[in-house]
Structure 1
Amino acid sequence: MAGQETHYILPRPEFDKPVKLLIVVSPYYKDIADNMVAGAVAEIEAVGGSYELIEVPGALEIPTAIGISDRAANFDGFVALGCVIRGETTHYDTVCNDSSRALQLLGLQGLCIGNGILTVENRDQAVVRADPQGQNKGGGAAAAALHLIALARKWGAQTKGVGFKPSSDSYRLA
């Protein structure tokens, strides 16, 4: 049973400059979302970070909100939180696949995103995964974003020494 397994968890990254994250949550299942937010907030605060929280109607809107936020605001990373519970139609597959794919594409563009959109078969599975004292998937999503931010900061100033670099000398054309 997945609820009884243990997994290795990376140590928390450390930051010499503060981090600011945006938590984007779909509170479609409010109790589950609230637990996930609590876990994410605790993880962000544990590294001395700050956050803002916005709500969107559903999981499909989460990537769009992150994209808008990236263009209009100044966040180091993003935490995507929501829950999709299988229903009687194929809508479940669409929501799970498309929200995940959109977040992955944003990540490949350089955004630091922790994906905490639960995709479960039933409410009981969601409750176990969202519980901050249990599987704490909200905290795990925040941790993932924080690790990506640390990685981006580590390598962000490095260059590979290829491409055009302007000379440090000033040249004037007459």
Structure 2
Amino acid sequence: MQGADKGIAQELDGLGLHIGIVQARFNEDITNALAVACIRELEELGVHDIDHVLVPGALEVPIALQAMAERGEYDALVALGCIIRGETYHFELVANESGSGVSRISLDYNVPIANAILTTENLEQAVARQTEKGRDAARVAVEMAMLMEDLSVGLDELDDEELA
């Protein structure tokens, strides 16, 4: 399997971060593997404050993310799910709506969300991606949480300079 090259990230340090994970149960073997890989990677990156909730399917992920985002306690969130194409339009509907919802929550609440809701043609593709995509979601969450903190501090410094 050939993945996208996202380049080399800065040194990732999750110490002190609070990360929330929303996992869809549909295609549970795959989503459980995503969750295990994600949580292990978060722990390896130093994240110890992890909240993990389960929802029925991918369409329910955004509302759970929204509830977590509204609390204002999380440095980043992670969406985990697996949508496998069937013979109906339902695949497109679930993939598009869940993806749109995840993006909207991130922008509306200014909280980074690593989207690891897999969309695959078949079970074999999902199995091939489950571990690496779970790990990747953890790295994205930590990297984006660190970036948002850096941007926040940078903006505060700019505001202080303007007041001087």
TM-score range, shorter chain: 0.7 to 0.9
Summarize the alignment of residues 37-48 of structure 1 with structure 2, pairs less than 5 Å apart: 37-48=35-46
Sequence identity (%): 32
Summarize the alignment of residues 1-174 of structure 1 with structure 2, pairs less than 5 Å apart: 3-4=1-2, 7=5, 8-15=7-14, 18-50=16-48, 51-72=50-71, 74-109=73-108, 110-130=110-130, 132=131, 136-159=132-155, 160-161=158-159
Distance in 2 separating the partners of 1:22 and 1:47 = 15
Distance in 1 separating the partners of 2:57 and 2:115 = 14
Distance in 2 separating the partners of 1:22 and 1:4 = 28
Q: What is the deviation of 1:11?
A: 4.8
Q: What is the deviation of 1:9?
A: 5.0
Aligned-partner residue type, residue 42 of structure 1: R
- Stretches (4+) displaced over 3 A: 4-9
Q: What residue in structure 2 maps to residue 172 of structure 1?
A: none
Structure holding more helix per residue: 2
Moved more, 69-78 or 116-125: 69-78
Distance in 2 separating the partners of 1:117 and 1:12 = 25
Q: Secondary structure at the match of 1:45?
A: helix
| Alpha carbons 1:12, 1:143 under 8 Å: kept | no
Q: What is the deviation of 1:6?
A: 7.4
Count of residues paired in the alignment: 158
| Alpha carbons 2:30, 2:82 under 8 Å: kept | yes
CA 1:138–1:9: 2 relative to 1, 3 Å:
farther
Instruction: Tell me the TM-score normalised to structure 1 length.
Output: 0.82
Distance in 1 separating the partners of 2:3 and 2:137 = 18
Distance in 2 separating the partners of 1:67 and 1:12 = 29
Distance in 2 separating the partners of 1:113 and 1:43 = 16
Q: Secondary structure at the match of 1:117?
A: strand
CA 1:18–1:5: 2 relative to 1, 3 Å:
closer
Distance in 1 separating the partners of 2:121 and 2:12 = 33
Distance in 1 separating the partners of 2:4 and 2:98 = 27
CA 1:87–1:75: 2 relative to 1, 3 Å:
same
